[in-house]
Each structure stands twice: as C-alpha cells, then as structure tokens.
Chain A
Amino acid sequence: MKLTKEQLARIRSFIQQKGFNYIDVQMEILDHVASSVEERMEADQHLKFEDAISQTHEAFGPDGFTVIQKSVVKGLKKKYSKFFWQNFLSYFGYKYILMVLFLGFVVYKLQMMVSNDNFYTIYIIGMFGIVGILLLYNLKDSIYKKYMSYRSAVSFLTFLGSFLVVTNMAISKSNQTSIFFSLNRSFLIVSVLITLFVIYFITALKTAKAGMRESKQLMDKYKLVV
C-alpha cells in the first residue's frame, strides 16, 4: 500500500521531533521510513500506522536516525574537501600556473612601487571587496541554510578570517628589509600569502557554489512534495 500525503507529513514531523531538521538529511530518512512503513503495513493488515512508524524507528537501533545524519555529514565533508583541494591544486597545474605567478609578481611590484601605508590601504580596500562579495552571496542564498550540502560546502569560507590575520601580520612587518635570493624577503612573503589567499578565496567560493547548486536541485524537488 502507498502512504497518503498526510501520512508522509506525519512521518516528516516525527523525524523533525527527533531533531533532524536538515532537509536533505530528512529526505533520505523519510523515504527509508516510508518504504519500511508501507511494507510493514502490507505484511500485517492489522498493524496501525503509528505502530509501524515506531517499529521502523526501533529497527534503526539505539542511536536512531543519528546514524544516517552522521554518515550524510561525513560523506558531504569528504566530498566537498575533495572538490576543494582538487580545485585548489589545479591552480598550480600547467593551465593556471602562469597566471598565479603573474599575480604574485604584481603584488610584489606593487609593494615596491607604493609606500607601506599606501599598500596597506589598497589591501584593506581589497578585503572590503571580498567581504562585500561574501555579504552578497550570504544574503542571496540564505534560503539554502536548511540543507546540509550547503552548510558543508560553505564551511571553507569560514577559514578566510584566519588567513587574513596571518597576512595582516606579515604586512605590518614588511618594512623590515632583509634580502633573500636578491629579493626583499618581507615583500616576497606578503606576495605569496596574498596570492594563496586569492586562490583560496576563489576555490572556497567555487565550492560554496557547488553546494548551492546541489541544494537548489534538491529544493526544486522538495517543493513538489510539500
């Protein structure tokens, strides 16, 4: 027998009551529970709907649905980490390496051309630009916050702050001149850090977008059933 929309809504609220609120996690639990309830009620015509739900929940063992949530989270983390690092490293492959070196060179030259204070101002303006981009994305995509795929994919953006602190420290010390392979060592460190930061930012944004795409696909289907 097939469950009605009302019965499915009841199972959904049962899952929510147990504390599982991420929609993509809920979806996978819901389909499993509903399939199991359908089969149990088919096998035993006298079995009540609520009892079939409890029996199914018990079959998951003492940890209940946590098992599914945990494995979804772990799987997504692994998936997006892989996505992130593959993309990050691709900038050091033959396709982009010249662009990356050029960026580093521009940042180095800029430090030589302008005073330390002016460079810092340019740096701060750049950071405001990045914060602006982030704000734009967050505002636009808060609709996906109930999706674990989105949460997992945007997590890389949260590390941007720590990157900034290190870069900031390096810039504040860059008036001390010491020479390294006939290059100004402080300028070199700042160039490398800023270049890495830019690549990190682009990759983190790309990863976040992949998470948004995945969440959107699920959301479109979810809208059809609720």
Chain B
Amino acid sequence: MAVNNELFKGTLQTIILNLLSENEKMYGYEITQKVKSITQGELMLKEGALYPALHKLEAEGLLETTTEVVDNRVRKYYSLSKDGEKEVVNKLQEAKDFIAQLQLLLNLKPAI
C-alpha cells in the first residue's frame, strides 16, 4: 500500500524524534530502514523528506550530531539534545491528541 505523502509529512518530525528517543543515536540510512521495518514496508521514508527534516531539527537545536569513522567512511550520527528530549514528550502528546480527534471526526472508532 502506498501511503499518502502529505499525511506522513506532518508527523515526520515526531517520528524522527521518537525513533531517536528509543535508539539514542542513528544515522540517516538507518532511520529510513527502521521506518521500513517497523511498518513492514508500508511506509517508505524517502531521502528527500528525511534529510530536510533532520537538518531542520539540528538547526533548531533539537538534535545533536557526532561523526565517526565506520567501515572506511565518515558516518554522521543524530541524537536528541536536551531540548529535543523535552520536545519529544510534547510532540508525542500532540500526535496522540490529534489521532484521537481524527478518530472522532472520521468515525473510525470512539475516542478513548
């Protein structure tokens, strides 16, 4: 099933922040693969969406980066900053609230 990109876009930052809160540090390719494996291939996180989101979060100070030499190349790891750790809690709550409202609006199932 191809998932609508627009639906994905709005929650991309939340998804990245949440993945990093669970995995401490990740590199770009790893994030795309993680999304793929968690959703069993249903959601494909494209490079064109991932990197702008990562660099924006980094510029905003929510992510920190470190570089390491791995397998003869330089790898850039992303991790949550102190601000990012606080923000992930807010973003998750926001997303949960939104999903509950969406369920009401679309009559999917009653709100919990």
A: residues with CB less than 8 A from B are: 2-3, 5, 8, 27-28, 30-32, 34-36, 39, 59-61, 63, 67-68, 70-72, 74-79, 82, 217-218, 221-222, 224-225
**In-complex Cβ contact of B59 among A35, A68, A75, A217 (8 A):** A75
Contacts A36-B29, A67-B47; A218 near B56 (Cβ below 8 A): no
**In-complex Cβ contact of A225 among B48, B54, B61, B73 (8 A):** B73
Contacts A61-B46, A61-B48, A68-B47; A31 near B74 (Cβ below 8 A): yes
B-side interface residues, number (CB < 8 Å): 27
Contact present for A72 and B55 (CB under 8 Å): yes
How many pairs, one residue from A and one from B, have CB atoms within 8 Å of each other in the complex?
87
Q: Which of A28, A79, A82 gathers most chain B CB within 10 Å? A: A28
CA distance A39 to B37 in the complex (A): 14
Residues of A within 8 A of B28 (CB): 28, 31-32
Contact present for A31 and B76 (CB under 8 Å): yes
Residues of B within 8 A of A74 (CB): 52, 55-56, 59
Closest 7 CB pairs between A and B? Answer: A75-B55, A78-B59, A35-B29, A71-B52, A71-B55, A75-B59, A67-B48
